[in-house]
Each structure stands twice: as structure tokens, then as C-alpha cells.
Amino acid sequence: MKQIVVIIGLAFFASCATAYQSRSLTGGYSDYKISSDSFSVSFEGNAYTALDVAQKYTLYRCAEVTKKN
């Protein structure tokens, strides 16, 4: 029974992490154009977002912006 409670608790906390999305109240990515060929890209996670996940989301957004422009 204790294992089920722990698994449910971990699933709850994992679902609270910031998803890959445009910045909103719960966090997300943002980007803006600095010059004709330069952009600033950032990702802001909440307390439940692991650092490596935030870094991967930032790199993913950089790739999207590069491909788009």
C-alpha cells in the first residue's frame, strides 16, 4: 500500500513540472529578435522542473527558432 501512495505522489509532482509551452503563468519558453540574424531564447521552469529538462527545452526552442528563421 505504501508503494502505491509513493507512486501516486511522484506522478503528481512530475505532472506539476512546467511543460514545453510558450511562457505563461506556470513558466515556459520565450524568444525575441535582437537583430536580423540573432535571437534571445530562454526557458523558465517552476520548482518542479529539473535543470536538465529546462536546458533541453531551451535547446529545443533554439532549434525551432533557427529552423523557422
With cut-offs at 50, 70 and 90, classify the pLDDT of residue 8: low
The reported pTM is: 0.73
Average confidence score pLDDT of the chain:
84
With cut-offs at 50, 70 and 90, classify the pLDDT of residue 9: low
Give, rounded to a whole angstrom, the gap between the first and last alpha carbons of the chain. Answer: 53
Residue 18: per-residue pLDDT: 84
CA distance 46 to 25: 10
Residue by residue, DSSP assigns 5-47 as HHHHHHHHHHHTSPPSSB-BTTBEEEEEEEETTEEEEEEE--T
pLDDT (tens digit per residue) in 18-48: 888 999 888 999 999 999 999 999 999 998 8
